[in-house]
Amino acid sequence: MLAKFIFMRFVKALAVLLAVTVFSFILVRAAPGDPATVLAGEQGAVDAEFLDRVRARYGLDRPLPEQLVLYVSRVATLDFGVSYRFNRPVIDLIAERLPATLILTMSAFLIALVAGVAMGVFSARHVGKWQDLAITMMALLFFALPLFWIGLMGILVFSVWLGWLPAFGMAQLGSSWGKPGYVLDVLHHLILPATTLALVYLATYARMTRSSILEVMNLDFVRSARAKGLPQRRIWTHHILKNAILPIITLASLQAGHLVGGAVLTETVFAWPGIGRLAFDALLQRDYNLLLAVFIIASALVVLFNFIADILYSVVDPRIESVS
Amino acid sequence: MSALATFSRNKAGMAGAIVLLLFTLIAVFADFISPGDPWRMAGMPNLPPFQGGFLFGTDQLGRDVAAGVVHGARVSLVVGLVSTLFSIVVGVVVGSVAGYFSGFVDDVLMRVTELFQTIPSFMLAIVLVAIFSPSLVSIICAIAVVSWPPVARLVRAEFLSLRTRDFVKAARVGGHSHLNIIFRQILPNTLSPVIVMASLMVATAILLESGLSFLGLGDGNYMSWGFMVGAGRTMIRNAWWLSTIPGLAIFLTVLALNLFGQGLSDLMNPRLARRRQG
């Protein structure tokens, strides 16, 4: 049953990726002007001979359906062409920067999840009191923060004024993997961007956890647990939290896309060398082929996160298999 | 008690409404409050707030930051409102058709909706605006394209629960067309949650717009808050006010919209409000 469920979800993930690829193909064709200039990554200033080479390479002289098949099969083999600005294969550029984005988004996710759920639990345990109100207000404030702005404010306060944290980059100049202190160095650089990216989602998790707990808390099985004299701690961990966690997994899955999108802004603000920053560089240089490749890979990342969340959900809640 | 009186007792909602009204007035009367082009050089460059007669100081090109904030309110509010309107229309059409007809149509439409929910929305908006070149129209369309799925899901759920009610059956027996039943009979009953959602969506749309123009994907003809934050970014060490003040304007507007939306939600759904308060 579980295998079948996972297989179905896998097929669905592939279908989404196919749709995203077709979608970006349509975008290349729908872009104003010659699609060859879009794929060449150089709007305007390119010579005719070069464009002919691009046309031949992407089969732009052939009928549309054939072009689509060619495009999809290229993407399927991770062939996104060459970025003429960077003068390197697009997939190399992305592969090089993917780890930085994963580190950033995963840390932000963990911070948001742990702190958000903790705040939600705290809030629910003090429902109606000032602690609850304070956390609700905090969530409201966090929720309205423009990500790029709060990142800049973080730099202003913690780097410029206090001098505690580095303002940009992933490591000190000259520091690299394997050198002593590298991991600590990266962690030091990670604090500001990860916290920035986490803030907004933290608010969402806090609110969701609070309302989810309040809902579960009054259900019959919790009352039974109380009535048969189970210790408070056990009721919280085994009865309330275990059930209240389900909507939180759904939320985490739904927010994966926002997290990856938010990485573009965060990485731009902090010059974090991930694919979000790469997307920004592609924008600056009008390298739309590179931009679309980042878009496809970012979508793939989200699909992967959703896939993991689906499996996790079915493990935590065995009922889900029969429903879906 | 009238709805207005009930709403006015909601302090947070009222605070939000007042701040919103203020920003709306600023946007509408921008040309009176701060006459002239906000892009022009108005004084010495990099003046801190309150110096040289500039409330919020000037930027590296001597532009008046206060004038930028005043005129930027226009872009934020117009983009927020119009793109939300578009996404509501798309979401309502998709959601009501899916919920009303159910079956195969519903399946197809919901798969499309899910697809749009999976694609990282901000990335998609960036790609759309970049490829169709940045302008107010492309920004509004891009935000609408990424924002409609939650509306569709909400409307669909409402339709699914309403379509078997007696008044719908009566309308069907009475020979009303599908179009009539969808738009005249069922849709009006789904409006209140849609309105609440719309007010929160304006906030999200403003955040999206500011993020886009921060990245340089704004309409170059109009001053916008996100652009100002982005332009002041490299000056953060020397001129903190350049990024701080316009960002604060975004933050306040979004916060006000959220408070207002929450107030509306409490007003239209008092039972839920009481439960939320524990």
Q: Token pair 């030091």 is at which residue? A: A188
Q: How large a percentage of chain B has pLDDT more than 70?
A: 96
User: Which of the four pLDDT bands, split at 50, 70 and 90, describes residue B275?
Assistant: low
CA B161/CA A185 separation, integer angstroms? 55
CA dist list (Å): B24 to A26, A197, B17, B72, B246: 38, 30, 10, 11, 16
Structural contact between residues A212 and A241, judged by C-beta atoms closer than 8 angstroms: no
In sequence order, what are the beta bridge partners of A89? Answer: A82
Q: Which residues of B touch A155 (CB under 8 A)?
A: 236
**A240-275, pLDDT tens digit by residue?**
877 777 888 888 887 887 888 889 999 999 988 999
- According to DSSP, the residues that pair with A88 across neighbouring strands are A83
**Three-class SS of residue A82?**
strand
| Model pLDDT for residues B195-246, shown as the tens digit of each residue | 888 988 999 999 999 999 999 898 888 889 999 998 888 888 888 888 888 9
State percent of chain A over pLDDT 70.
Answer: 92
- Among A11-20, A119-128, B86-95, B155-164, name the most confident range: B86-95
Task: For residues B20 and B66, give the distance between their C-alpha atoms in angstroms, rounded to a whole number.
Answer: 18
Residue B89 makes CB contacts below 8 A (sequence gap 6+) with none
Residue A264: list chain B partners with CB under 8 A: 122-123, 126, 215
Supply the pLDDT for residue A29: 79
Spatial distance between the Cα atoms of B144 and B253, rounded to a whole number of angstroms: 19
Span of A95-104, A215-224, B2-11 with lowest mean pLDDT: B2-11
- pLDDT the model gives residue B161: 85
Neighbours of A173 (CB within 10 A): 5
Query: Per-residue confidence at B150, pLDDT binned at 50, 70, 90?
Result: very high
pLDDT reading at B142 higher than 90 = yes
| A146 with B247: Cβ contact below 8 A | yes
Distant-in-sequence, close-in-space partners of A31: CB < 8 Å, separation ≥ 6: A38, A288, B131, B132
Chain A residues touching residue B254 (CB < 8 angstroms): 144, 146
Residue B278 has pLDDT above 50, yes or no: no
pLDDT at residue B135 in the model: 92
Mean local confidence (pLDDT), A203-228: 84
What's the mean pLDDT in A227-245? 79
The predicted-structure confidence for A304-315, as pLDDT tens digits, reads as follows 888 888 888 777
> Chain B residue with minimal CA distance to A39?
B131
Provide the pLDDT for residue A323: 46
Give A 290-319 residues with CB within 8 A of chain B: 291-292, 294-295, 298-299, 302-303, 306
Contact yes or no for B1/B265 (Cβ under 8 A): no
Mutate to test the interface with B, among A20, A152, A213 (most CBs of B within 10 A): A152
Per-position DSSP letters for chain B, written without gaps between them: --HHHHHHT-HHHHHHHHHHHHHHHHHHTHHHHS-S-TTSB-SSTTPPTTSTT-TT-B-TT-BBHHHHHHHHHHHHHHHHHHHHHHHHHHHHHHHHHHHHH-HHHHHHHHHHHHHHHHS-HHHHHHHHHHHT-S-HHHHHHHHHHHHSHHHHHHHHHHHHHHTTSHHHHHHHHTT--HHHIIIIIIHHHHHHHHHHHHHHHHHHHHHHHHHHHHTT-S-TTS--HHHHHHHHGGGTTT-THHHHHHHHHHHHHHHHHHHHHHHHHHHH-HHHHHHHT-
Percent of chain A whose predicted confidence (pLDDT) is above 90: 18
pLDDT of residue A50: 76
State whether the Cα torsion B151-B152-B155-B158 is positive or negative: negative
Q: How many angstroms separate the CA atoms of B169 and A309, rounded?
A: 40
Per-residue pLDDT tens digits for B34-81: 777 887 777 777 777 877 777 787 777 778 778 888 888 999 999 999
Nearest CA in chain B to A292: B127
CA distance A266 to B176: 53
Shortest CA gap A180–chain B (Å): 30
Question: How far is the C-alpha of A276 from the C-alpha of B122, rounded, in Å?
Answer: 11
Condensed to tens digits (0 to 9), the pLDDT of residues B70-120 reads: 888 999 999 999 999 999 999 999 999 998 888 888 889 998 998 898 888
Q: How many CB atoms lie within 10 A of CB A241?
A: 17
pLDDT of residue B85: 96
Q: Whole-model pTM?
A: 0.89
Which token pair is B66? 């206060």
Q: Among all chains, which residue has been given the structure tokens 């509004």?
A: B140
- Going from the C-alpha of B184 to that of each of B170, B177, B178, B240, the distances in angstroms are 13, 10, 10, 54
Give the whole-number percent of chain B exceeding pLDDT 90: 35
Mean of the per-residue pLDDT values of chain A: 83
Residue A32 has pLDDT above 60, yes or no: yes
Q: Is the pLDDT reported for residue A200 higher than 60?
A: yes
Residue among B221, B226, B225, B151 nearest B190 (CA): B151
Residue B36: left (phi > 0), alpha (psi -120 to 50), or beta? left
What residues of chain B lie within 8 A of the CB of A94, using their CB? none
Q: Tell me if chain B has a CB within 8 Å of the CB of A11.
A: no
The answer to whether residue A76 scores a pLDDT higher than 50 is yes
Output the pLDDT for position A195. Answer: 92
Summarize pLDDT for A148-192 with one digit per residue, the tens.
Answer: 999 999 988 988 888 788 877 777 766 677 777 777 888 888 889
Q: B168-186: per-residue pLDDT in tens?
A: 888 888 888 888 888 888 8
Q: CB–CB of B175/B116 below 8 Å?
A: no
- Look at residue A131 in the predicted model and tell me its pLDDT: 86
Q: How far is A178 from chain B (nearest CA, A)?
A: 32
Task: Tell me the two tokens of residue A18.
Answer: 């196919």
Contact assignment for B126 to A156 by CB distance below 8 Å: no
- The yes-or-no verdict on residue A62 having pLDDT over 60 is yes
How many angstroms separate the CA of residue A87 from the nearest CA in chain B?
A: 21
Tell me the shortest Cα–Cα distance from A231 to chain B, in angstroms.
23
